[in-house]
Amino acid sequence: MKLTVIGLGQCGCRIADHFGRLDLKAHAERKASIAPVILAMNTDQADLTGLKFIKKDYMHRVLIGLRQTLGHGVGKINELGAQLAREDGDKVMDAMKAERRFYETHAFLLIAGSAGGTGSGAMPVIARMIRERYPSRPVYALVVLPFEHEQATEARSVYNSATCLKSTYDLVDAVFLADNQRYVRKDASLVNNMEKINRQIAEPFYDLMCAGEVTKGKHVGSRTIDAGDLIATIEGWTAIGIGRTELPSLRFPWEIRKKHFRDKALESFRGSQALDATISDLSVGCSPKDAAKAMYILSGPPREMNMDMVKSISDYIKEMAPTALIRGGDFPGEKHFIDVTLILSQLSFVPKVKDFYEGAVKYGQEHKGEITEAKNKIDALADLAKELPSLG
């Protein structure tokens, strides 16, 4: 599946940059193109400067709202981010059309952090523009949810997240949710943590995008997952994850014919182990029972994947999501691992979304009273000063 990827705001641009890395990786390893168009849009000039893989010209790194922000962001005011996106969103549309390979893409993927100002406000605006101009192509959103400490100490982050989620959900075909807190490593430095989190958020999309785009026969699976399968599966609130089981190394090629019976028995179980790791590392906390659609892709060396492994994975997913319509396939891509990528889509309930909606309503009620009280005090002070002479 080929995607036009658009990063919005600081968080969105940095994750989109990792999609640029994955596209280069796909070219090098699998001779496949998975993201022919990757753009970054922001109101902060410094954030755009720090990207590594997105092209450096003004058509790929789009700076908006320069007159209002002077290139220094919107300060978490997502209403201002939405306004600037409405005024300068045509820059993104023009940049997409200018790409020679734009019309190869099957769908759009917008990426933003929900707690910020530019990405949170711009995402629904850009989604609406794309929907109006390209109604026949799916539009997906990858929304990154804030850390727990942001939710606890920054009420504005909760409000921004709720308004972003609600506005975006109404305009796109599916919303991939990625909870930052699920990727945190407590002992890592801040820079390394953020870099690893962005990498982990993008990584599960790699095999799914590559599976139907490879040009070498050795990478074509017996049951290929293609763009049609993905479009039919991805809908509404969506979680994605990838899990891995490392294969034992063989000292000599002929050892493959001399496996111990215990090792042979473990072959099929490796797929279930990888699926367990996938479930524990889903991008957002949810119950598989709430999914109406599910899709998996099994990746590994061809000699290590067999029908027993596929059957055990399918049965396992059916047990966890008994009402879901399940699609699956294999992809002989990895050399030393068994990977299982899983999508749970059309989720009927996501606890995190509920928490943000409730928190935003509470924030609005509390701050409405505070704003009214502050205005009354200011007016009272102004009344006291009416009789004083003005030096101006």
- pLDDT of 390 reads 58
The Cα 374–Cα 126 span in angstroms is 35
Residue of 223, 216, 205 lying closest to 327 (CA atoms): 223
pLDDT in tens, the chain (392 residues): 899 999 999 999 999 999 999 999 999 988 888 999 999 999 999 999 999 999 999 999 999 998 888 888 898 899 999 999 999 999 999 999 999 999 999 999 999 999 999 999 999 999 999 999 999 999 999 999 999 988 888 888 999 999 999 999 999 999 999 999 998 875 556 667 888 999 999 999 998 898 878 766 666 667 778 889 999 999 999 999 999 988 876 444 445 554 555 555 566 678 888 999 999 999 999 999 999 999 999 988 888 888 888 888 999 999 999 999 999 988 887 678 889 999 999 999 999 999 999 988 887 777 655 545 555 665 665 676 677 675 65
- pLDDT of 249 reads 63
Domains of the chain: 3-203 (3.40.50.1440), 241-347 (3.30.1330.20)
How is the chain split among helix, strand and coil, in percent rounded to 5?
50, 20, 30
- pLDDT of 218 reads 65
Q: What contacts 187, CB < 8 A, 6 or more positions away?
A: none
- pLDDT of 41 reads 96
CA torsion, points 94, 99, 100, 101, in degrees to nearest 10?
Answer: -120
The Cα 3–Cα 286 span in angstroms is 26
The count of other CB atoms within 10 Å of the CB of residue 8 is 33
Is residue 240 helix, strand or coil?
Answer: strand
The count of other CB atoms within 10 Å of the CB of residue 373 is 10
Q: What is the DSSP string of 109-174?
A: EEEEESSSSHHHHHHHHHHHHHHHH-TTS-EEEEEEEPPHHHHHH-HHHHHHHHHHHHHHHTTSSE
What is the chain's alpha carbon radius of gyration, rounded to the nearest angstrom?
Answer: 24
- pLDDT of 388 reads 66
DSSP state of 248: P
Q: Specify whether the CB–CB gap between 6 and 126 falls below 8 A.
A: yes
Is residue 39 helix, strand or coil?
Answer: strand
